[in-house]
Chain A
């Protein structure tokens, strides 16, 4: 069964600190892995997309890593800001259909305190 599991479920950090969010998946055949940021009451916004051959990708203070062998990914946030408070969703796409079917994790709810 294709699944995406994220940890921790929620996380509270102080402004300026770093944090790392985890994602494990069983989706096969694998196409790509994305990290989305979803602010409360808004739609998800893409942060990074990584294909099978990529093991790291950065977008400003966000750095995603991918280990396709162990089927794990992480999202590292550097020097957190209050605006980073949001849900971070790991999403994996399979190669099994032309639809580009996405499998969503439940997200990690990050809260940044001043």
Chain B
């Protein structure tokens, strides 16, 4: 099982609150990713990082922001949560080999009321 962790696993929060979803990996992977997934739908890439101090936006526009100050840590922040942000957020990291195997964390289920 991959060593990639996400906290919290579940979060229910009111509109307008600032939240940070944590993601950490102990595999020393340079590449890390954030995906958003709604029930019955495909995963959509919202942020990725090639390494420390590198962050890029993904295919799906998101109001969230990310940072990569340390290799093992890739937190995602929402400055002002809204009900439209309700979703599952999955973090992943990649070993950078030719097949770019991505290892996923367990996810954070976010509900904004």
CA distance A42 to B44 in the complex (A): 16
Residues of chain A within 8 A of B99, CB atoms compared: 31-32, 49, 51, 93
CA distance A99 to B55 in the complex (A): 12
B107 touches A42 (CB 8 A): yes
Residues of chain B within 8 A of A44, CB atoms compared: 43, 90, 104
A45 touches B109 (CB 8 A): no
A102 touches B102 (CB 8 A): yes
Q: Does A78 contact B (CB under 8 A)?
A: no
Known: A43-B92, A100-B31, A106-B42. A93 touches B106 (CB 8 A): no
Interface size bucket, A side? 20 to 34
Interface class of chain B by DSSP: strand
Interface size bucket, B side? 20 to 34
Q: Does A60 contact B (CB under 8 A)?
A: no
Residues of chain A within 8 A of B92, CB atoms compared: 43
Residues of chain B within 8 A of A51, CB atoms compared: 99
Which of B50-105 touch A at CB < 8 Å? 50, 90, 92, 94, 99-105
CA distance A104 to B107 in the complex (A): 17
Residues of chain A within 8 A of B101, CB atoms compared: 46, 49
A45 touches B43 (CB 8 A): no
A107 touches B106 (CB 8 A): no
Residues of B at the A interface (CB closer than 8 Å) are 4, 31, 40-45, 48, 50, 90, 92, 94, 99-107, 109
- 3 smallest CB-CB distances across A and B, nearest first, come from A100-B100, A43-B104, A104-B42
